[in-house]
Structure 1
Amino acid sequence: MKKHVDRAIMLNPNDADSLANASYMLAMYGDGEKAVACGEAAMRLNPRYADWYIAFQATALFTARRHPEALAARIRVPDYFIDSTFFGAAILAKLDRLAEAKLWAEKAVARLKARPGGVEQAAKGCIQLLLDNNPFRRQEDRDHFAEAMHMAGVPG
């Protein structure tokens, strides 16, 4: 799959939406710095980018372990992305801002439970749900995210 992302970038390096999507995919493949570079390029190419560009960039920055920058991006993301609220909790936890991280985690869990089927999803475990939704390929990235979720008080 990563070869397809690399090929898409090679074939059309000026397609902002493709680069923004590549940013997220490369983050999931563990290539955080390349993911960040793709996200930055996407935002340069499309200065009126959609909010999801920022959400994907925050994910890339988190994967690259650039937590202060990830937080700066995350606070710009509207709250309608549920995963982004959980990522905000994770980023704050990694910055050792645990009280804030716990508040974000509580807000994220409440928002998840308010969705249709969300109570059942939360009962099965929020962290596993998030790992399923954000399929980090490298175990070290999965562990980094899961550890941050635990630190923030997100239920398993």
Structure 2
Amino acid sequence: MGGFGGIARCRKHQHTESIRLPRRVASQPAFARQREPRRWNSAKNQQPFRTNEPCRRNACADSPITATSNWRLVKHIARPLDLNPYDADTLAQIGHFRALRGDGEAGLALLDKAIQLNPMHPGWYYADRAAALFVLGRYRDVVACLSCLPRKSAWQWAWLAACHALEGDVEKARACARQGRALEPGLTVKDFLADLRMKRTEDRERMRLGLQRAGWDDALP
């Protein structure tokens, strides 16, 4: 019973951690310094880790601040790989970060490895993989990747509109723009770019050009 109780406490703790962490937590250097019991990882250089450390580090990975303002936190997000090298979600997150930083090849390789490890993966794998493909200029593959999503947000319709436009298919681009604007009538190109987490100026510029060619701001549902 003690074993089952420990599992229940761990699951309860993990759940409360995931809902109590604020969005800005990834930008706080003192975040990892919590007064908790410490154990030793004897498998690798006797480095200490906390009992709920993978949960906390994956929570950092979910913060939008991480991708653009503090690349150094990626090494902390990757820590669960020391505990489980087959952690597909962590591989996918690191691949997404590398793509956002402009290294599309490395990002795509990590995302593809994550998909191999977890064929029944959640839908956000598709969106993250689409970002890596966009960085590489593979617009048709972006469209194919996002088409796997059963339901799309306005932002994902914007990605589709931009990629169709960059491929020269303006008719499909405008159709995607109308779908997206129907979901978020107030979403403009400026707003979309403000939320875009890509680091390189050339990637952001290509997205802006694609949305403008698709007539995103002028699209009516």
Answer whether TM exceeds 0.5 for this pair: yes
TM-score, structure 2 as length reference = 0.60
Q: Does 1:132 align with 2:194?
A: yes
Amino acid at match of 1:109: R
Could you tell me which runs of 5 or more consecutive residues in structure 2 were left unpaired when the two chains were aligned: 1-69
1:19–1:41 Cα contact (<8 Å) kept: yes
Whichever of the two has the greater Rg, that structure is: 2
Match of 2:147 among 75, 83, 87: 75
More helix by share: 1
Match of 2:30 in 1: none
Q: Are 1:90 and 1:148, in contact at CA under 8 Å, matched by a contact in 2?
A: yes
**Structure 1 residue 14: Cα displacement:** 2.4
Q: Give the length in aligned residue pairs.
A: 146
Residue in 2 that maps onto 1:155:
217
Whole-Å Cα distance in 2 between the matches of residues 23 and 82 of structure 1? Answer: 23
Structure 1 residues 64, 5: closer, same or farther in 2, change over 3 A? farther
Is 2:122 the partner of 1:44?
A: no
From 95, 110, 119, the equivalent of 1:23 is: 95
* C-alpha RMSD of the superposition: 1.9
For the 8 Å contact 1:83–1:130, the answer to whether it is kept is yes
How far apart, in 1, do the equivalents of 2:197 and 2:163 lie? Answer: 18
Identical aligned pairs, as a percentage? 27
1:116 corresponds in structure 2 to none
What amino acid sits opposite 2:137 in the alignment? R
Unpaired runs of 5+ in structure 1? 114-118
Task: Using structure 1 for the length normalisation, give the TM-score.
Answer: 0.83
Q: Which residue of 2 aligns with 1:4?
A: 73
Alignment-mate amino acid for residue 146 of structure 2: R
